[in-house]
Amino acid sequence: MKNLIEPHGSDTLKPLYIEDSVEREDLINTSKDMRKVLLNSAAAANVVMLGAGYFTPLSGFMDKKNAISVANNMLTTEGLFWPVPIINLTKDDKDLNIGDEIALLDPNMQGNPVIAIQKISAVETITNDEIIAMAEKIFGTTDASHPGVANFLSLGNTLISGDIKVLNYSYFPNDFPGTFATAPEIREMLVKAGWSKTVAFQTRNPMHRAHEELCKMALDRLEADGVLIHMTLGKLKEGDIPGDIRNSAIAKMVEIYFPENTVIISGFGFDMLYAGPREALLHAVFRQNCGCSHLIVGRDHAGVGDYYGPFDAQEVFELDVVKNSLKLEIFSADHTAFSKKLNKVVMMRDAKDHSKDDFVLLSGTKVREMLSNGQELPPEFARKEVAEILMKYYQSL
């Protein structure tokens, strides 16, 4: 069997979670006397991703030079391709000294337990102008109505950089048992399944007919061994469907409508950035770390509102810096719609003999609207069994 694709920028995965339980206990005990810094949710999500090996080969939080270099050029100062700065920005700037070890506290767990230990390599101030300039590069906009921008501008002006040791994965293993998995665990699943060509499908929503068919098209056209349906389990924006509901809906769809042993469902602990093209690149980096050879990049991938063109997230993969850095390839998806002529979901570019009236357009927003109003979803939109799970959730609100 062919080997899995190599991790990004490294021969092996580099998870920063401390596996040794004795060492972990010692660090937790020692942390009681350390200076404490309460993380924001974005930094806590970075800790989970670093701990779980998704952000291989990074060893901790970037300093100002690296953060700005990544924002501007998508390269660290040492020339490693990285699409989004991985930073610990805080409003807390007291008693932080280079060389000190500090205890990072989890904002998303009751009692704010220690989630990681960070050895400070630098404490730097980032001005508001610098933060706005970085936001412009990362999100392509500085409009504070963009949820990712609003969050980024609110994090603070003190940047604490340095390597970290991760002590736990926050709320993810408890809230999503059997779904949350680390990059090494996913690689292990792929090896066990005997897959060498795996397509990753990124989702923060339940999967409708369009999503299901996209996965099947990718499987078929790439002659792949299987699909990794990989869910964002972290903080979403208001109105997005909670992880557990999404989980049940996806599991039901896979159980009934996919051939056996062609799908692995899993999830990762990260907060959505809604950063469009840059986030699509980050999705590609950590899917390569999971061992996936391909990533489905659809219309307005990781976007929000009208901030990005429908195919910006695909076009960014054509940049030289990306092509020279990633081993993973993308499967570019067009607008999908239900064809009344063919009685199935198709990519619109493939249906040359169709007029506009031959299609039923499938939209997640439309689905949410109908469910909120207690309307039954048509079969062109969602499988009956999936629609029932979603309807039950919306009626409980």
* Number of residues in the chain: 397
Contact 55, 268 (CB under 8 A): no
Contacts of 25 (CB under 8 A, 6+ apart): none
φ, ψ of residue 230 in degrees (nearest 5)? -120, 110
Residue 2: predicted pLDDT? 61
CATH of 175-396, one of 3.40.1350.10, 3.40.630.10, 1.10.1740.10, 3.40.50.620: 3.40.50.620
Q: Which of 73, 112, 157, 205 is catalytic?
A: 205
The pTM for the full model equals: 0.94
Note the CATH number of domain 21-173.
3.10.400.10
Q: Which of 187, 204, 278, 299 is catalytic?
A: 204
**DSSP letters along 162-179, please?**
EEEEE---TTHHHHSTTT
**Percent of all residues in the chain with a pLDDT value above 70, rounded to a whole number:** 98
Read off the pLDDT of residues 364-393 as tens digits, 9 standing for 90 and up.
677 778 888 888 888 888 899 999 999 889
Residue 204: predicted pLDDT? 83
Residue 99 backbone class (left: φ over 0; alpha: ψ -120 to 50; beta: rest): left
Domain ranges of the chain: 21-173, 175-396
The yes-or-no answer on residue 204 being catalytic is: yes
Q: How many angstroms separate the Cα of 181 from the Cα of each of 20, 22, 166, 282?
A: 18, 22, 15, 18
Read off the pLDDT of residues 282-325 as tens digits, 9 standing for 90 and up.
999 999 999 999 999 988 899 999 999 999 999 999 999 999 99
Read off the pLDDT of residues 48-101 as tens digits, 9 standing for 90 and up.
999 999 999 999 999 999 999 999 999 999 999 999 999 999 998 889 999 999
**Residue 189 above 80 pLDDT?**
yes
| Average of per-residue pLDDT values in the chain | 93
